[in-house]
Structures are given as C-alpha cells and as structure tokens.
Amino acid sequence: MNATFRQLQIFLALAEHGSVTAAARACHVTQPTVSMQLRELSDNTGLALYEQIGKRLFLTEAGRELARSAQAMVDEWAAFGQRVAAIKGLRQGKLKVAVVDTAKYFMPRLLADFCALHPDIDVSLQVLNRDGVLQRLHDNRDDLYIMSAPPTDIAIEQQVFLANPLVVIAPIRHRLARSGPLPLERLAGERFIMREAGSGTRLSCDAHFRSLGFAPLVRLELGSNEAIKQAVAGGMGLAVLSVHALGDHLVDEELTLLKVQEFPVHSNWYTVQLKGRRPSPVASAFLGYLERQVAPLRASVRALEKRARGRSRSLPQA
C-alpha cells in the first residue's frame, strides 16, 4: 500500500475534526485537495476509510486502524525532529499537555514561564473535563497529562507533584459560617452542590464520604467550579472544591470556608504519561522544570491547607 506522509496528516485532520472543510482549514489546503488526497488514500487501501452521516464524517473500522497507525507515525516523526533539536540544543520543538479543568488555575502560569525560557518551543494546552483528558490519554495524543485521579485501567506512569486539598465552602451568611469545628454529622441536613460524576474532585469527595459513612444530600451536579461557586453564593447549598479553585478573597464572592472535622480531604495532583512512551526532549525538560518550579506552590498549598483547618473568609490563591 502506497501512502504519502501528507495524506496521513490530512486523514488525521479528518479524523479529529469530522469534516472535509475543517480538515482543509486545519491543514491550510483547499477542500478539493483534501477530497483528492483522501480518495487516493482510500483507493490505495482498498477499503472505505470513512462514511458520511448527515453533515459529519465517521471513520470505519479500517479508518480507525489507519488513524492509529498514522498517529504513531506522525508522533515518531515529531519525536525524531525533537531529538534532532535536542542535539542542536533545546531551542525548538513542541510540547502537548492536557489537563483537567481545575488545573487551569495554576498550569497556564507554569507553562507561560516555561515558554519565556524557551520562546521557540511551540506549546499546546488542552483544558478538559476528566473524561476528555482520559480519552486523549487512551489515544496517546499528548506528551503529558495533569489530573488528580489517574486511571487504573491503562498502563501509565504517574508521579505526585502537588497537593490538592478539598475544602467545604458555604454562602457567607450561612448559619454555620461562624461555627466550628463542625462534626460532619452537622451537615447531614444540608444540600450539596457537587462536581459531575467522574470528575477527579467528585471521585475523591465520594470516596471520602463513603469512608466516613456519610451520605450527602446532593441537590445539584455541575461541571464547572465557577458555576458551583455561583450556586453556593446564591444560597443553593454547600460544596466541596479544591483550594486551587478558590480566588484571592472569598468574601468578595460572598463565600466562606467551613471548618469541618475530617476536612480538608487529602488529594494530589499527578503528572501522567503512558507507560513505555519515550518522552521527547522538550517533555523531559518540562518535567524537570515543573519539579523545580513547583516548590513555591507546595509551600503555598501547605499554608492554604493549614488555614482551611480554621474558619477563614479570605483565602490567597495557590
């Protein structure tokens, strides 16, 4: 079977974007060029690689197999380019990072500082919910993943790099706002606003409550930390969130921390990579940089955790 590298790149763009128009835009070519290249690729394969349903294109079984092989080829070629760049010095290359959405409160700053040190390195950051990050991990689409609840059904290498304590927040005028320390049982009649099922915060929170034999009254599930804070401020209930999701001054958001026994919940941030994947020079450099730069963050989080054990209406961001 004959196929050009350009055809494989175009096919991967089609697989990612689901339309010829979007693939053409991503590859900076015309639609007729994409259609011609895909037709030649299908003819060389001898099998249909995709089918159109409505306005979207979907890969066939043969197309999915080709996409996996093409992605491996493209990744290996990119890795070769980075190894060549490493021989010349860490002056160019690409770093692809996918993080769960709560990590958006600190990862962009870390990446920005890394980019300032290496201005010619191209950085791609994907901020998604946990399911989205897991899908990219399964597809081996990035150099590094940041999450608080690594999967157990796939071979990975994981490393703790930062604490991620979870705390209870309430409306600033809540009747328990000036109480503490509160036994968890005092919250038995309170409504809770929780992160969506499957999120790292929700997994840690559910496991913690189960271990204590506590069943919270869940009023609402939301997929955004910001939406949860707004709902809590509006008096809809209490919530358990990462300290990283809290701003500089909770009082300005009409929120307060509750001092609750058995809180904060201990959780961690992990760097995750597929087991056996050879890290690129840029990815290795970023991991080393992350370890060096995270020390001040660790100290800040320890201070946050200590403060969260007492009631406070103002919380500096990590």
Is the sign of the CA dihedral 278, 148, 194, 317 positive or negative?
negative
Whole-prediction pTM: 0.68
Which neighbouring-strand residues pair with 166?
242, 265
Residue 312 inside a domain? The answer is: no
Residue 316 inside a domain? The answer is: no
Strand order in the sheet with 93-100: 121-128, 93-100, 144-147, 268-274, 156-163
Separation of alpha carbons 34 and 231, rounded Å:
47
Domain CATH code at residue 91 = 3.40.190.10
Same domain, 226 and 108: no
**Do the beta carbons of residue 147 and residue 97 sit within 8 Å?**
no
**Do the beta carbons of residue 172 and residue 256 sit within 8 Å?**
yes
- What does the pLDDT read at residue 73? 87
Same domain, 59 and 113: no
Residue 314 inside a domain? The answer is: no
- What does the pLDDT read at residue 16? 87
- What does the pLDDT read at residue 135? 93
Structural domain for 78, as ranges: 71-163+269-303
- What does the pLDDT read at residue 133? 95
Each residue's pLDDT, cut to its tens digit, for the chain (318 residues) gives 678 888 888 989 988 888 888 888 888 889 899 888 888 888 888 888 988 887 778 899 998 999 988 888 888 887 777 667 665 555 667 889 999 999 998 899 889 889 888 888 889 999 999 999 999 999 888 999 999 999 999 999 999 988 899 999 999 999 998 877 889 999 999 999 999 999 999 999 999 999 999 999 999 999 999 999 999 999 999 999 998 888 766 777 889 888 898 899 989 999 999 998 888 888 888 998 888 887 777 777 776 666 666 543 333 333
Q: How many CB atoms lie within 10 A of CB 71?
A: 18
Same domain, 158 and 77: yes
